[in-house]
Structure 1
């Protein structure tokens, strides 16, 4: 007797499903299944070592001043300063960019790990109490909750500062083993003190930045009708799987099997293209479900069946493409020095090169202008060959170099065909994480965004599509569960939003990530979020996608016309 069909899956297919397991359930499972030795090593590398370095800096400076500096002659001091400056100059020239990017990532990682989740949890708790005991609407509750949350966290951090401090301990008592141990303990306390001080100022700053950014609003009165100059099919989060009967991480057995729905989506877009030409098919991230080779093969097979669309298709990376450590085990932790993160990024970069390598350009950051095509850039100086060797052989130094090449490749730019035409900027908005549970964190680095600004400034009369995976800012949705707000918006979204608002009339921001559609604005900046034609609709129901109609505005900006909703059966 056959009592089960393997094509229907089983409970193992729901291991990472957010519809079958709550956030607390996932956290409990991870605590039970995680590798404790790896967790300890990762904690030492990511938390203890930085804390000791931060806390030990004043001790090291004091020891140097008391033990070395005061015993050196005046000429020796001058020579030491010159030698130090020379070494500092060489380091800045050779590794300055990488050090800056690492510092920036660590700074925003601190916000993602400490300020953002604490602020969000306290803010939502305050908002819930405000809605319950002081009715006045969702927007009013949010306006009250933000400053209150920032103030509460600042007070709690101040208590920690006073308890640990009140000031850093910078005295080196002696150099015996016991004295060095006490110095290490003091350094760790100093690190905790420094982080608490940062939280004391960072939490109120976060609430102020949120208040200044304002609440995103729906587009007023809808978009006008009119003849479209450009038509953009916007998809996102297609989550291609490598198994024709495979399920997806987030939805498990509640979602579709295989890639039939993607095939139907492409069929619908091909019919739309035959009816009226599409200028671009833009897929804003999560091309694959877990960034595996079989999934990229399945994606390319699906796209190759539609060669006309393929020639106008552009993709960007999502968190599922680059940050899923293990699709079968959400508790698996990846060490910071492991090659997995770089390897997943190289798979994505390789897929982008095969699909759009001749269409997109890399920005020359030194010249601050649009540079060669992605294909030409990879061919220069043997970059592509070096990346292929890393993917084949691995290696710590090769992995670090691969991460640098990944950072340098973004933003990718499609220049406008005419000075006042429509260009496309493709951003990587994924923070580098080492844990599947935190895979959704988003970050757009300063160097990347400034390169995008330089590319747009090169064509001052052009209009632009700016594509990224994550939300720029959290969209306030009454009743949305807390799990739906974690990892939704960029960690530095307020800063990115402020920069993009400078050119708001000429750009349209497109993103995906949370599988629901929204069209609105933050200030003057228009933002559209795409649903997932694959993930948003349960099996047996219809999905949909949007085709955005755009035209030049009379004032030289970009006009957003009424979009067309296409149904995916």
Structure 2
């Protein structure tokens, strides 16, 4: 007698599922299971230390001016000042780009952890109140008004807090004895809290104004351009491959598919399409794996090896599941900033991209602002590949610093057009660096990467471009969507990215995945194709789908979209509880 089939899984397979558990349920579980020592260390490193540094800066400057400057001869003081300036210039020259990237990531990270949840939560509450009071109002109008009111409300509350803590930061703190250290630390923390409040005064209204200025995302018109497609592109995303035949996904657990059969069937359908009429690109916009384990990358490569013609046309980018899942079985596990896990996951993804497309895509030379070597050549140069292999084998600190630099400089990856007026592909990394599975979905495209992408497009002024990233550019207006589905969906700096892209909106189309939301629309004139997952969102017996897109050159260098075609991936097996016989 048997009472359980291991292929059906059990409760443990739902440990990280967002289908069977609510966001609040996961949060409650994590409060019980999280490692408190790790949490304390991470909080100290990521919050307390930066806060004290920010808050202590004015105190230190005032102490220097009051205690040191007036006791040093003018000539020596001038020489000392010039020496400090020379050191500062050297640091800026040697590590300026890295420091700027760190500051930018910290800035947007603060926005993601502080401004975005506050703004989104208050906006949704105000928006629902407006909809209830004036249900005839258009949803777009209600959303814009709610955003502006939310930004204003947050700024007012932050202003009251800043006034109570200040109204200006404290500069004068006695530091003549040991007992003065605690009052100085307290003053530094007050200064830091004041700085955060001032940041909210500026950032919250700026966020709401940026959202209003970018415009509400709207569906694309149902009418598409007529004509023959010059370029045929298959767009897939979020295939979430697992390493075992009957493995479940961490996001859906037993409420989703088992194994990789659905992706294998999608490849067979693509093979048929390619045989009937060749495809130009197969684009998979992130979440290639479920948790960036080696066996999952092996499963992907084995699946692609069966279809060499498709493999030669496939381009992939990293998703949050490819780089930011700390532990697939334990969402409460916290990873310290100095731990090697995050770099290892990124290097696994980078190695997979190099094996698949390393000879077909190029990096951008940041100094010349021109297309640089292929990814393969970039990794082979200056001993990068050997250093990355050493880090993956031994985890040395020096090689780890290089690993971070190599990852940052690898994006954007560029598949250049085959003709001056051809179609190129830009592959962006839109994943923020997080140390906690619960916050793995944070998305950001930093300024250095965006400027490099723009430089690549300028090199081919007559070309058209497909811009691929994983995260939503903006949050799509879906009345009734849960708040949990709205936070962590879009890029933290998505409105800025849209603003940069809209300059070339006529000749680009942006493609992404992430939340498996099937949508074709535009925002600020930028056309956006959001891909459903051909794997996620349904159990094995149900069907899923992906889209085939046709593109053609338009007048004045425009990229015209032709009518897309949906390709259905059939289900397999019988519905649970049905009579299969």
Shorter-chain TM-score: what band? Answer: over 0.9
Q: Structure 1 residue 267 and structure 2 residue 268: aligned? A: yes
Measure, in 1, the Cα distance between the counterparts of 2:103 and 2:524.
Answer: 31
1:325–1:435 CA contact under 8 A, matched in 2: yes
Deviation at 1:98, TM superposition (A): 0.8
Quote the residue 1:123 is aligned against.
Answer: 123
Q: Structure 1 residue 56 and structure 2 residue 56: aligned? A: yes
Quote the residue 1:389 is aligned against.
Answer: 390
Quote the residue 2:85 is aligned against.
Answer: 85
What is the alpha-carbon root mean square deviation over aligned residues? Answer: 0.9
1:516–1:536 CA contact under 8 A, matched in 2: no
Counterparts of 1:78-477 in structure 2, within 5 Å, are: 78-135=78-135, 136-477=137-478
Measure, in 2, the Cα distance between the counterparts of 1:346 and 1:436.
Answer: 18
1:55–1:191 CA contact under 8 A, matched in 2: yes
2:283–2:316 CA contact under 8 A, matched in 1: yes
Secondary structure at 2:521 match in 1: strand
Deviation at 1:537, TM superposition (A): 2.9
2:499–2:524 CA contact under 8 A, matched in 1: no
Quote the residue 2:564 is aligned against.
Answer: 563
What CA deviation, in whole Å up to 9, does each residue of 1:509-529 have, x standing for no partner?
Answer: 000001021111113211101
What CA deviation, in whole Å up to 9, does each residue of 1:372-401 have, x standing for no partner?
Answer: 000000011011111111111102332222
Secondary structure at 2:335 match in 1: coil
Measure, in 1, the Cα distance between the counterparts of 2:390 and 2:192.
Answer: 40
What CA deviation, in whole Å up to 9, does each residue of 1:375-429 have, x standing for no partner?
Answer: 0000110111111111111023322221111000000001111111111100000
Secondary structure at 1:228 match in 2: coil
Query: Runs (4+) of structure 1 moved beyond 4 Å?
Result: none
* Residue correspondences, number: 569
Secondary structure at 1:472 match in 2: coil
Measure, in 1, the Cα distance between the counterparts of 2:267 and 2:248.
Answer: 20
Quote the residue 1:73 is aligned against.
Answer: 73
Measure, in 2, the Cα distance between the counterparts of 1:275 and 1:537.
Answer: 29
1:431–1:443 CA contact under 8 A, matched in 2: yes
Measure, in 2, the Cα distance between the counterparts of 1:174 and 1:418.
Answer: 67
Quote the residue 1:12 is aligned against.
Answer: 12
What CA deviation, in whole Å up to 9, does each residue of 1:12-68 have, x standing for no partner?
Answer: 111111110111111111111111111111111111111100000001001111121
What CA deviation, in whole Å up to 9, does each residue of 1:420-444 have, x standing for no partner?
Answer: 1111100000000011011001000
What CA deviation, in whole Å up to 9, does each residue of 1:61-120 have, x standing for no partner?
Answer: 011111211111122122112211211121112111111110000000000000011000
Measure, in 1, the Cα distance between the counterparts of 2:462 and 2:470.
Answer: 26
1:505–1:557 CA contact under 8 A, matched in 2: yes
Deviation at 1:356, TM superposition (A): 0.3
1:339–1:399 CA contact under 8 A, matched in 2: yes
Measure, in 1, the Cα distance between the counterparts of 2:94 and 2:487.
Answer: 37
Relative to the length of structure 1, the TM-score reads: 0.99
Measure, in 1, the Cα distance between the counterparts of 2:298 and 2:452.
Answer: 31
1:284–1:469 CA contact under 8 A, matched in 2: yes
Quote the residue 2:575 is aligned against.
Answer: none
Measure, in 2, the Cα distance between the counterparts of 1:329 and 1:309.
Answer: 35
1:254–1:539 CA contact under 8 A, matched in 2: no
Deviation at 1:225, TM superposition (A): 3.5
Measure, in 2, the Cα distance between the counterparts of 1:7 and 1:270.
Answer: 29
Deviation at 1:151, TM superposition (A): 1.1
Measure, in 1, the Cα distance between the counterparts of 2:394 and 2:142.
Answer: 55
1:54–1:190 CA contact under 8 A, matched in 2: yes
2:104–2:446 CA contact under 8 A, matched in 1: yes
Quote the residue 2:23 is aligned against.
Answer: 23
Secondary structure at 1:534 match in 2: coil
2:231–2:279 CA contact under 8 A, matched in 1: yes
Measure, in 2, the Cα distance between the counterparts of 1:13 and 1:537.
Answer: 16
Q: Structure 1 residue 547 and structure 2 residue 537: aligned? A: no
Deviation at 1:164, TM superposition (A): 1.9
Deviation at 1:144, TM superposition (A): 1.7
1:346–1:402 CA contact under 8 A, matched in 2: yes
Secondary structure at 1:255 match in 2: strand
Secondary structure at 1:405 match in 2: helix
Measure, in 1, the Cα distance between the counterparts of 2:470 and 2:120.
Answer: 21
Measure, in 2, the Cα distance between the counterparts of 1:241 and 1:498.
Answer: 37
Deviation at 1:174, TM superposition (A): 3.0
2:13–2:254 CA contact under 8 A, matched in 1: yes
Deviation at 1:272, TM superposition (A): 0.5
Measure, in 2, the Cα distance between the counterparts of 1:175 and 1:509.
Answer: 59
1:443–1:490 CA contact under 8 A, matched in 2: yes
Structure 1 gaps, min length 5 = none
Deviation at 1:331, TM superposition (A): 0.2
2:390–2:396 CA contact under 8 A, matched in 1: no
